[in-house]
Amino acid sequence: MTPNPEPPRLQLTGITKRYPGVVANDGVSLTVQPGEVHAVLGENGAGKSTLMKIIYGAVKPDAGEARFDGQPMHIRNPQEARQLGIAMVFQHFSLFETLSVAENVWLGLDKSLSLSEVTRRIAEVAGAYGLDVDPARPVHTLGVGEMQRVEIIRALLTQPRLLILDEPTSVLTPQAVDKLFVTLRQLAAEGCSILYISHKLHEIRALCTACTVMRGGRVTGTCDPRQESNASLSRLMIGAEPPALAHHDRTPGEVVLNVQRLDLARESPFGVDLVDVSMQVRAGEVVGIAGVSGNGQRELLFALSGEDQRAPPESIVIANHPAGRLPPGRRRALGLHFVPEERLGRGAVPELGLAHNLLLTRREAVGAMGWLRTGQLRDQAVGIIDRFKVKAAGPHAPARSLSGGNLQKFIMGREIDAEPTLLIVSQPTWGVDVGAAAQIRAEILALRDAGCAVLVVSEELDELFELSDRLHVMAKGQLSPSVHRKHATVERIGEWMSGLWHGDVQQHLQAMELGREEAHAH
């Protein structure tokens, strides 16, 4: 007799979840086999995150059936999900900022383990998987990329039977992604099933063995991504291929941002000292900064945006004005607009509507005596929602109600629509689907072509290669020489992320840059 086949690790049938004004999941069915790496693909707002939260017990469905290893699954909360063997890494992190890394991880584990034992295991897992993080650091001192590493480590320590990953590689270096994929393939070989959400189509094709495509809350198809191309996956997801970016070399203009020999001691004991940072961004060019999160990007962005006003005035010059000690409002008056990496809490007030969130950086609708022109705010918000195809219930929808990708589109739209002289952006397309990412990148290049100086800090190397005219790498609080996009390779930038730029390379690149500037001068 043939033995009974092993039941699916996860089987969803007819899962439905309604919210006021929207059906997030509409009769969704999904089957994941033991040891399968299964992608869930869809544009922003397609219902992927809601479905994952239902599986993890964070959201209760209105209808449908779920089975785990063939048994009916009735999970009331994430704690019960973890006891069953389900772990999840959220796109929006669920960490207590006042606690340390080890304490955050400890909260989600078996309480029979001591904190010192958890600390030891964190160090082991971090070392084995190339996820560098200090267990003693308070979470509020971490950058977004470091927080994501904590979430991944916390999930791996539970030894899950089903691991849900929502955009897990968006802030990892190419080398770290390769190492993570080795780990995930090993987990799958040991029988762990993995649900993998990513907008990086090449990753899905390289890693996943099955794919379910969602659009508008419904399943619209399944496929084997190994048999698909990026173009065919795009068509399945958004109905079309994203337009190709038109990136034309052009001669940049005057220096808009000039950073000279910026030395800045860290404010936090777990921060990074900025050491002799020098760079220029000219009108009509995009300068990219690559690097692993936690190497000084956060400190540099705080110094440039005005959140940290300790820099000597002449070390940061914006539009020929010494700005090292200026507050954010004065820097905005010089034409600087800024998009932070943290969307909720820094980029937007969660409980405020989108129209009122414009007031964070846009003051046109503030009239005499501080009266707000609410009609003007509403019209501005509607214009941004339409232009950037933001899926929201309207201009007064709370920022918290938007999916991560749609909130990113709105925040980017808010700053781009202001027509800045200098735009500084951190992680411009983190968590955004391929269609929206292409649109945001095209808008950035259009700003550049209109004469704006743009500085992009990103851990997406593909994005930096698409957008940048010149590239720097940040490592251990220091900034590499700039390298022209044509001369940059993934291998070289990956090596530089470890601080491996040498004197001879530096001299060569500086000479090359000097020759380029002299050619422009003539």
State residue 520's pLDDT score: 61
So what's the pLDDT on residue 164? 95
Residue 376: phi and psi, rounded to 5, are: -65, -40
Residue 489 domain flag: yes
> Does 38 share its domain with 114?
yes
Cβ-Cβ contacts under 8 Å for 430 (sequence gap 6 or more): 144, 167, 170, 171, 341, 404, 408, 460
> Would residue 246 count as lying in a domain?
no
pLDDT of residue 95: 87
Helix segments in 56-200, DSSP class H: 78-84, 101-107, 115-129, 144-157, 174-189
Instruction: Kindly give the parts of the chain with pLDDT less than 50.
Output: 1-2, 504-505, 508-509
Q: Which residues contact 280 (CB under 8 A, 6 or more apart)?
A: 255, 257, 258, 259, 287
Per-residue pLDDT at 13: 97
- Mean of all residue pLDDT scores within the chain: 88
Pair (293, 158) in one structural domain: no
- Res 193: pLDDT: 97
Q: Are residues 199 and 276 in the same domain?
A: no
pLDDT at 292: 81
Contact 474, 499 (CB under 8 A): no
Chosen domain end from 238, 263, 284:
238
Measured CA to CA, the distance from residue 479 to residue 178 in angstroms comes to 25
Give the count of alpha carbons within 13 A of 457, CB side only.
29
Q: Which residues pair with 484 in a beta bridge?
A: 470
Residue 483 lies in a domain: yes
Model pLDDT, residue 514: 59
Query: DSSP per residue over 24-60, as a string?
Result: EEEEEEEEE-TT-EEEEE--TTSSHHHHHHHHTTSS-
Nearest to 206 by CA among 181, 233, 175: 181
The letter for the amino acid at 180 is: L
Residue 460, domain member (yes or no): yes
Q: How many CB atoms are located within 10 Å of the residue 502 CB?
A: 9
Helix (H) or strand (E) holding 193: strand 193-197
Could you tell me the residue range of the domain that residue 354 belongs to? 338-419
Domain total for the chain? 3
Looking at residue 260, its pLDDT comes to: 97
Both 58 and 79 in a single domain? yes
Locate 278 and state its tokens.
Answer: 């020098």
Q: Is residue 519 part of a domain?
A: yes
Looking at the structure, do residues 299 and 446 belong to the same domain, yes or no? Answer: yes
pLDDT of residue 348: 94
- Token readout for 433 is 């689907």
| pLDDT at res. 513 | 59
> Who's near 510: CB < 8 A, 6+ residues apart?
481
- Measured distance CA(106)–CA(118) in Å, rounded: 6
pLDDT of 319? 96
Contact between residue 236 and residue 221 where contact means Cβ atoms under 8 Å apart: yes
- Is 57 part of any domain? yes
Rounded CA gap, 495 and 487, in Å?
Answer: 14
348 and 311 within one domain: no
Strands 37-41 and 193-197: parallel
Task: Answer yes or no: do 278 and 382 share one domain.
Answer: no
- Check whether residue 502 and residue 364 sit in a common domain: no
Mark whether 331 and 347 lie in a shared domain.
no
CA distance 103 to 138: 9
In a domain, 247, yes or no: no
Do 395 and 450 share a domain, yes or no?
A: no
Residues 175 and 92 placed together within one structural domain of the fold? yes
pLDDT at 509: 46
Please enumerate in sequence order all residues whose Cβ is within 8 A of that of 397, keeping only pairs 6 or more positions apart, or say none: 353, 354
* Distance in angstroms (rounded) separating the CA atoms of residues 55 and 63: 13
CB 484 within 8 A of CB 496: no
Instruction: Name the domain boundary from 214, 238, 262.
Output: 238
Asked, for residue 448, whether it belongs to a domain, the answer is: yes
Q: Which pLDDT belongs to residue 521? A: 61
Give the CATH number of the domain where residue 87 resides.
3.40.50.300
Domain boundary among 368, 390, 419: 419
Q: Same structural domain for residues 310 and 348?
A: no
